[in-house]
Amino acid sequence: MTIQVGDTLPSINLTTMTDEGPKPVSMAEISSGKKVVLFAVPGAFTPTCSVQHLPGFLEKNSDLKEKGVDVIACVSVNDPFVMKAWGEDRSVGDDVMMLSDGNGEFTAAIGLEMDGSGFGLGTRSQRYAMIIDDGVVSALNVEPGPGLDVSSAETILGLL
């Protein structure tokens, strides 16, 4: 079943890279007492993700923060080393928290997985963006197909 507005995010660990290496982090830790924008991409370094989706959230970072967003995070079914390399390649710095869902457990738990095997990608995440208030989903925009419309930074900014 797909997560819905009003649902609490599952307490499943994702992974982020630190100076000490990979570190597990739960969405509860990330979102407790905070407003979070979480967006998901089918894959790091893929065209729409690298050219439009992630750069849009970097470009609108200060606008999102002015609207009360505490954390902007990107999640993908990629390993934490790939997410770190992609973040460095795109110069995200501290503006976007790069989260790895390497085994796709978080993605499956919220019901937003997709079959990318036709492209040699295996099981991945659908493209979406959500607003989370203290662990509870207050907005969820899932792309209905290829492209970037409802989950763009501009669209999410308009929901805040």
For the chain, the domains span 13-159
Of 113, 99, 110, 158, the closest CA to residue 137 belongs to: 110
Q: In which band, very low, low, confident or very high, does the pLDDT at 45 lie, cut at 50, 70 and 90? A: confident
Region for 5 from its dihedrals, namely left if φ exceeds 0, alpha if ψ lies in -120 to 50, beta otherwise: beta
Catalytic residue check, 49? yes
The whole-chain average pLDDT of the chain stands at 93
* Secondary structure of 118-146 in HEC code, one letter for each residue: HHCCCEEECCEEEEEECCEEEEEEECCCC
Q: pLDDT tens-digit profile of 112-144? A: 998 777 776 768 899 999 999 999 999 999 999
The proportion of the chain whose per-residue pLDDT surpasses 70, expressed as a percent, equals 99
The radius of gyration of the chain from alpha carbons, rounded to an integer in Å, stands at 14
The average pLDDT across 8-12 equals 93
Q: Which CATH number is associated with domain 13-159?
A: 3.40.30.10
pTM of the predicted structure, to 2 decimals: 0.94
Mean pLDDT of 100-117: 92
Choosing from 17, 30, 49, 54, the catalytic residue is 49
Round to whole Å and give the CA distance between 109 and 125. Answer: 11
First to last CA, the chain: 26
**Cα 92 from Cα 107, distance rounded (Å):** 22
| Residue 131 identity | I
pLDDT value of position 111: 96
Residue 119 backbone phi and psi in degrees, to 5: -110, 10
- 147 pLDDT band, cuts 50/70/90, is confident
Tokens 């830790």 -> residue: 29
Q: What is the pLDDT of residue 121?
A: 76
